[in-house]
Structure 1
Amino acid sequence: MTSRDSLRNRIAVAYLLFALGSSLFLAAIAIVAVEGIEVHLVDNRLTEAAAWAAPRHAGGLPVAMPAGLSFYHGASIPEPLRNLPEGVGEVHVDGIGLHVLAGKDASGNYVVVDHESDYEKVELVVYSMFGLGFIGIMLFSLFLGGFIGRRFVTPITILANAVRENSSELPLLERQDELGILARAFAAHTSELRIYLERERLFTGDVSHELRTPLTVITGAAEIIMTQADANPATAAAAERILRAANEASACVNVLLTLARSRDRIAHPVTSLEQIASAETERYQPLVAGRPVALRFLGGPAFAVAAPPELLVAAVGNLIRNACQYTTHGEVSVRLGDGLVRVEDTGPGLPLAVRATFDQGQGAAPGLPLAVCATFDQGQGAAPGAGSAGAGLGLALVRRICEYLGATLAFSEREGGGSVFEIRFNMALTKS
């Protein structure tokens, strides 16, 4: 998460923007008020002074102006103040700012002058104080926003870390505010997930264990039939198919048992993908025997993965088996890439219903249903002679294995028709 996306920073910025907007609004009001006061104090003062002095001057009476005000009439008007338009205005003489009211009576022109230096000083003090207040408000808002952001976000971060670390006891459960409600909701949901996962794990383990005994019996019976010298050829062929199916089912049971365990509790030997891909290609040669389909291992950069061998065998083997089942002519090729295994075929491609569950270039979508993949693996159109190869798990099992190993299952269409499946392994687990 970038600092721009941080909720803490967003809260601080929100406070800062609120303070900025409020300060600008108050600044506009202050400017209007100061200017209004200036008009009231200066302009009205000059007007009142002119109304008092002009009649006295016309009557020949002495004109004694208050301090700071001067009255000039006719020829006594200083040169810089002559010929001014009537009304109040600001004039600068020798660098000094003056407020001047120019008027005219029956005996001639007159001006009333008020030195505005005092008002300028007052304005400067007011605006300086406002500037300091503006800076103070900005700094305080930034501090207050950061403080409130930390107080608000820190409990959420603590709760998120506890959920991420799968802590048995979540914090904030005792709080009565919204954070407490959120923590209790997380705790309840986490408890339900744990119960569900534990029930699923136990069910998978129990079913797998229960399947081992009948599979062992089936395997033994098929081997006995095959070893009988006087066995009917058709019976021997059927026994061979039974034995192959039983062995595949046993391997599937072992995979399911492994997937039911935690990754931290199983061994992760370094396994060569070149050996597995080559062996699985050779293993499934009978599926294309007598058909216009070539199954080839094309090699590639050799690498190894730290993962249980039975999972790697099941993932690669299922992709090869599916490709052989649904390719009626052409070829199925298996090759290695940079940290990946690619299985490419010239078959009809994936049905639209299954293809929609794949994110382009990212492998199977998280919601890829097991039933859809099983239907595809057992669907219509399997190649003749597939026998018992369609164990019913196929792509769904490959996807589960990839998720378990932190790998991704990617699908793309082959140019000219067909499918391309890739298992891309986490580079942190691969070894050249």
Structure 2
Amino acid sequence: MRRADSLKRRIVVAFVLFGLGASALFAAIAAVAVEGIEVQLVDKRLEAAVAWAAPRHTAGLDVDMPAGLRFQRGAAIPAPLRGLADGVHKVDVGPTRLHVLAGHDAQGGWVLVDHESDYDKIELVVYSMFAAVFVGFMLLATLLGGFLGTRVVTPIRELAQAVGQDSVPPTLTGRKDELGVLARALQAHTAELRAFLDRERYFTGDVSHELRSPLTVIMGAAEILLQDAPPALRAPAERIYRAAREAAECVTVLLLLARAPELGSQAPVDLAKVARDEADKYRSLLAGKPVALRFDESAALAVRAPRELCAAAIGNLVRNACQYTDAGEVVLRVLPGRVVVEDTGPGLPPAVVATLGSGGGVPSSGSGGTGLGLALARRICDFLGAGFAYEARAEGGSRFTIGFTSDPGSRQPNVPLTGR
């Protein structure tokens, strides 16, 4: 998983953003409070002192100001303080910052200067403390977000790994929080799916196994008929034998799929030879039709898989193309990494293509052939990890492609169905 997609990182970012927002709000409130305190401690103090000193100075009386305060009028006002507008000012004279209250009365302008106010120092200390609190708050938000992110993400990661391993540990199912509820729900759902798949596999295996005996009897009886039957009965006997043989091959394929053999332990299968054999097997379906079956081998291709499965996947496509192509040609190609079957038949209608893409059964129409044939070919490709793709040819007909990985026996996702 990319770092940007990490749930833990998102939690940490959320805490940091919350810390930034809370700190900004706190800083704004603190700034207003500091300025308010300054008004009360400095400005009001200067205004009270002026209210006492100005009348006495006008009356010619002595103005005995508190320590640090100096009342000056007219020419006695220092040059840096002249011309100030009425009100409180902060004036820097050299390294010293003065609080000055300026005003006018009937006698002219005056200023009240505070030389010894320590409020600026106090203000600096207060803002320094605010900065330290901000840094500490952000650090705390980051650590808390990381801690909570770890506490939240670690069980989720363990749950994801457990689901991938088809086993949810008791440490997760025993939790009392929402993760425990999710773990128990996933455990129950996984058990239900496992039971369903086991029932389906056992049913397919049992049915396939039970069908082998009667099919063997039918094939044996058909062989006897082919040997002893008069010419008039040979054609029906051949159809019976061919149908029973195809049914037996289908049963074998279903039994292999039910048993799900390990592909990595299989011997490599030469797909070019398999494709050639399947083309020869179904060439008789074109008897009496103006259709040519062409086999093109331009590359060697081998995969680790049961030969019966490879033959069934390719054979179903070749058989359907031969059965439903009335004119033109059927081309079977073995190319680097893939096997392609093309025909000049009517093609597949959109409804059938949609059904094939969903993995369901396919109606018996067009060059799609029997629903069981294409559905079985798609299921075999799913099991082998091979790509299965259909597209309509621009000049008419169908093109089916079975794509294999370069590493025999390795799994890859299916190529999605497309159509032109």
Query: Match of 1:249?
Result: 247
| 1:205-216 superposed matches below 5 A | 205-216=205-216
In the alignment, the residues of structure 2 paired with residue 192 and residue 116 of structure 1 have an alpha-carbon distance, to the nearest angstrom, of: 83
**Cα pair distance change 1:115/1:325, threshold 3 Å:** farther
Task: Give the AA of the match of 1:303.
Answer: L
Deviations 1:95-122 (A, max 9, x none): 4332221112222221011248733322
Task: Give the AA of the match of 1:134.
Answer: F
In the alignment, the residues of structure 2 paired with residue 80 and residue 268 of structure 1 have an alpha-carbon distance, to the nearest angstrom, of: 99
| 1:21-420 superposed matches below 5 A | 21-115=21-115, 118-167=118-167, 171-228=171-228, 231-264=229-262, 267-357=265-355, 364=357, 367-370=358-361, 373=362, 375-376=363-364, 379=365, 393-420=372-399
Task: Give the AA of the match of 2:359.
Answer: L
Deviations 1:215-235 (A, max 9, x none): 00110011111112xx33231
3-state SS in 2 of match to 1:393: helix
In the alignment, the residues of structure 1 paired with residue 189 and residue 223 of structure 2 have an alpha-carbon distance, to the nearest angstrom, of: 50
Shift of 1:60: 2.0
3-state SS in 2 of match to 1:14: helix
In the alignment, the residues of structure 2 paired with residue 357 and residue 91 of structure 1 have an alpha-carbon distance, to the nearest angstrom, of: 85
**Cα pair distance change 1:297/1:29, threshold 3 Å:** same
The 8 Å contact of residues 303 and 430 in structure 1, kept in 2 or not, is answered as: no
The 8 Å contact of residues 319 and 421 in structure 1, kept in 2 or not, is answered as: yes
Query: Match of 1:387?
Result: none
3-state SS in 1 of match to 2:127: helix
Query: Match of 1:428?
Result: 407
Deviations 1:38-65 (A, max 9, x none): 2222221221111111111112222222
In the alignment, the residues of structure 1 paired with residue 132 and residue 323 of structure 2 have an alpha-carbon distance, to the nearest angstrom, of: 81
In the alignment, the residues of structure 2 paired with residue 255 and residue 41 of structure 1 have an alpha-carbon distance, to the nearest angstrom, of: 95
3-state SS in 2 of match to 1:356: helix
The 8 Å contact of residues 248 and 391 in structure 1, kept in 2 or not, is answered as: no
In the alignment, the residues of structure 2 paired with residue 59 and residue 418 of structure 1 have an alpha-carbon distance, to the nearest angstrom, of: 117
The 8 Å contact of residues 267 and 308 in structure 1, kept in 2 or not, is answered as: no
Query: Match of 1:8?
Result: 8
In the alignment, the residues of structure 2 paired with residue 76 and residue 169 of structure 1 have an alpha-carbon distance, to the nearest angstrom, of: 89
In the alignment, the residues of structure 2 paired with residue 357 and residue 33 of structure 1 have an alpha-carbon distance, to the nearest angstrom, of: 71
Task: Give the AA of the match of 2:374.
Answer: L
3-state SS in 2 of match to 1:172: helix
In the alignment, the residues of structure 2 paired with residue 129 and residue 426 of structure 1 have an alpha-carbon distance, to the nearest angstrom, of: 65
Shift of 1:398: 1.1
Query: Match of 2:415?
Result: none
**Once structures 1 and 2 are overlaid, which stretch shifts more, 12-21 or 260-269?**
260-269
3-state SS in 1 of match to 2:113: strand
The 8 Å contact of residues 170 and 187 in structure 1, kept in 2 or not, is answered as: no
3-state SS in 2 of match to 1:302: coil
Task: Give the AA of the match of 1:9.
Answer: R
Shift of 1:258: 0.6
In the alignment, the residues of structure 2 paired with residue 260 and residue 161 of structure 1 have an alpha-carbon distance, to the nearest angstrom, of: 26
In the alignment, the residues of structure 2 paired with residue 357 and residue 170 of structure 1 have an alpha-carbon distance, to the nearest angstrom, of: 41
- How large is the Cα RMSD of the aligned pairs? 2.1
Task: Give the AA of the match of 2:59.
Answer: G
The 8 Å contact of residues 327 and 345 in structure 2, kept in 1 or not, is answered as: yes
Query: Match of 2:413?
Result: none
The 8 Å contact of residues 159 and 171 in structure 1, kept in 2 or not, is answered as: no
Percent identity between the aligned chains? 58
**Cα pair distance change 1:168/1:76, threshold 3 Å:** closer
Task: Give the AA of the match of 1:93.
Answer: V
Shift of 1:68: 2.8
3-state SS in 1 of match to 2:155: helix
**Cα pair distance change 1:66/1:392, threshold 3 Å:** same
**Once structures 1 and 2 are overlaid, which stretch shifts more, 250-259 or 290-299?**
290-299
3-state SS in 1 of match to 2:62: coil
**Cα pair distance change 1:234/1:34, threshold 3 Å:** farther
3-state SS in 1 of match to 2:64: coil
Deviations 1:359-408 (A, max 9, x none): xxxxx3xx4213xx2x23xx4x679xxxxxx6651111111111111122
Shift of 1:311: 0.7
**Cα pair distance change 1:142/1:226, threshold 3 Å:** same
The count of corresponding residues between Structure 1 and Structure 2 is 410
Shift of 1:253: 0.7
In the alignment, the residues of structure 2 paired with residue 27 and residue 90 of structure 1 have an alpha-carbon distance, to the nearest angstrom, of: 23
Shift of 1:337: 2.9
3-state SS in 1 of match to 2:249: helix
In the alignment, the residues of structure 1 paired with residue 381 and residue 121 of structure 2 have an alpha-carbon distance, to the nearest angstrom, of: 78
The 8 Å contact of residues 68 and 117 in structure 2, kept in 1 or not, is answered as: no
**Cα pair distance change 1:76/1:280, threshold 3 Å:** same
3-state SS in 1 of match to 2:262: helix
In the alignment, the residues of structure 2 paired with residue 346 and residue 116 of structure 1 have an alpha-carbon distance, to the nearest angstrom, of: 104
**Cα pair distance change 1:44/1:349, threshold 3 Å:** same
Deviations 1:287-313 (A, max 9, x none): 122212111112222121111111111
Deviations 1:330-366 (A, max 9, x none): 11112123311111122111122121246xxxxx3xx
3-state SS in 2 of match to 1:110: strand
Shift of 1:204: 0.7
Task: Give the AA of the match of 2:280.
Answer: E
